Amino acid sequence: MKRGIMEKRDRVVVIGGGIAGLSAGIYALKAGFECTIYEKNAIPGGECIGWNRKGFHIDNCIHWLTGTKKGTDLYEVWKTVGALSAQTEYAPLDSFYSSVEGGQTVTLWSDLKRTERELLAVSPEDEEEIRKFIRYVEYSKQCIYPAEKPMEMWGIRDYIAMGKEMADFPKVMKELGKCSIEDYSKRFRSPLLRKLLCDYLPKEYGAISLLVSYASIADGNGKVPMGASLQLSLRMEKKFKELGGEIFYNRGVEEIVVEKKTAVGVRLADGRLMEADYIIPAMDFYPLFHRLLPREYMPAGLRKAYEKPEAYPVTSGFQVAYAVDEHFACGETVFVDIEPLEVGSRTFDRMYVKAYGYDPVCVKDGRQVLQTCITQTDEDYRYWKSLSKAEYKEVKAKLVQEITRRIAEKYPELAGKMDVLDAWTPLTYERYCGAYHGGYMSFIAKPGSKKLKVNGKVKEIRNIYLAGQWTTSPGGLPVAVTSGKFAVQRILKSQKRDIAI
Ligand SMILES: Cc1cc2nc3c(=O)[nH]c(=O)nc-3n(C[C@H](O)[C@H](O)[C@H](O)COP(=O)(O)OP(=O)(O)OC[C@H]3O[C@@H](n4cnc5c(N)ncnc54)[C@H](O)[C@@H]3O)c2cc1C
């Protein structure tokens, strides 16, 4: 039942203006609450942003946005928060990524039939596995992200409906649910196909993650909106403000003040207490449960994940952006062999380049942005963290030089013609978003480890509802945007109100 207009409205305070926080704010306003967001940075978006260097825009998030397919519950959520609309234009991309080795290239195309033909041409001896792979990706298209309401509010009908929609997906789970990407790749004889499977996600991760990711692209449900990631965040901010929300930037929250099992408000850096009836932390959970709230409130599952990073790894990157000739075309996202590159104690022999010329936002004066990323893990984070300020700067600069040389070796037409725009590391994500170990996705449960799902409540505090990508591994934008909605639905449920918003 909706409340009367004259009645004092409950105030929701959201901590963090990333995708989860903006989503929570929009749904809170739609549900009739007053809402204020406090964001520690100067702009919205959190991890879903980009920035300008030397007049070029570096887009640093969306490689694919699950939920771009009309008719899905997730699309409705993206529409409601103003991120997508019927007018949204998508990038003219037609593949997930390509892998190159020994002069041969294979690509995971958006068109599955094309991929099947190409893989069979490259490795006829893998026919049986290739056909199975294509079938598994086809089945994985059924793995739709539940976005209507939190699963604890599901009834028997919801489960039956899901069972029908995902009728074939259990076959993939049965065969590959406990298999890492690396183990899965060993079923293929071709070294190139093995590389193809291992190139994108860290190879110790579950094979299912790769299949489901590729399936969303092959299903037209993982497109890239034109205008880059920051614009998507700004559209959500605009929607939030249009609905009457207030967002304050450069206002980090230092503490959540709890009295008698009730959170009474948030303390800002300048010491002010901003009162709230409900608080939705939509920020990284590590600083949340180490700084803003006493550790004893940390959910047990989360504690376990922090204690066992080898079972719950996170992904980050050492990334470099360049300006190059706009006519340079290497394919969309292309992985290549490189002369071994040492980063800390680990050695990398593959890396990718991605040209952003498809979006005019990333093109200027006949030049486009080109990016590369060396995937980083917890171990790499610890390496970066061990360096002094001066060492950090020096290692970064040296790596940029080494990477630039390797790109020029692979693409001689770029030699001497690449302007370095910027380089950033796992520590950048930690500094900018408070990201645990610099992770820009949530924990990835390795096969055999339990997938982390944090119940949206903080035990023993009545009115805190959690949001953000760290609520459900492996995180990402769909988890972030739905978690904001779910947090508000949990508040509505606690008030015995209709959860349909
Ligand atoms: C290079 C890269 C590529 C990616 N590619 C994809 C992709 O292709 N598809 C996909 O789905 N996902 C992708 N992601 C992941 C995606 O960006 C994140 O999952 C998502 O943006 C997380 O949103 P969030 O709101 O949960 O958290 P965050 O973005 O971390 O937002 C949290 C916000 O809280 C703020 N904050 C923290 N502490 C405080 C405090 N004390 N007070 C006030 N504010 C605070 C932070 O500044 C931040 O703005 C990518 C990320 C990166 C970096």
What superfamily in CATH does domain 11-51+65-85+227-309+446-494 come from?
FAD/NAD(P)-binding domain (3.50.50.60)
Ligand 1 pocket residues where CB is under 6 Å:
15-21, 38-41, 46-48, 60-64, 252-253, 282-284, 287, 433-434, 440-441, 468-469, 475-478, 480
Distance CA 197, CA 177 (A): 16
Distance 162 CA to ligand 1 centre (A): 28
Strands, E, within 94-161: which ranges? 95-101, 104-109
Residue 297 has pLDDT above 90, yes or no: yes
Atom of ligand 1 nearest to the CA of 252: 42
Q: Return the higher-pLDDT residue of 445 and 331.
A: 331
Distance CA 341, CA 347 (A): 5
Mean predicted confidence (pLDDT) in 455-476: 93
Give me the pLDDT at residue 235, please: 98
- Tens digit of each residue's pLDDT (9 = 90 or more) over 221-236: 999 999 999 999 999 9
Distance 123 CA to ligand 1 centre (A): 39
Distance 281 CA to ligand 1 centre (A): 13
- Give alpha helix (H) positions in 200-268: 207-218, 228-242
Mean predicted confidence (pLDDT) in 51-56: 98
pLDDT band at 475; cut points 50, 70, 90: very high
Distance CA 408, CA 262 (A): 59
Distance CA 73, CA 67 (A): 8
**Tokens describing residue 206:** 């579950």
Residue 102 has pLDDT above 90, yes or no: no
Q: Return the higher-pLDDT residue of 448 and 102.
A: 102
For residue 474, whether the previous peptide bond is cis, meaning omega lies within 30 degrees of 0, is yes
Distance CA 352, CA 12 (A): 43
Cα torsion 24, 208, 380, 101: sign: negative
Q: Domain locations in the chain?
A: 11-51+65-85+227-309+446-494, 95-223, 316-438
Residue 112 has pLDDT above 70, yes or no: yes
- Tens digit of each residue's pLDDT (9 = 90 or more) over 431-443: 999 999 999 999 9
Distance 442 CA to ligand 1 centre (A): 10
Mean pLDDT of the chain: 95
Residue 173 burial class via C-beta count within 10 angstroms: exposed 0-12, middle 13-18, buried 19 and up: middle
Distance 213 CA to ligand 1 centre (A): 18
Atom of ligand 1 nearest to the CA of 38: 43
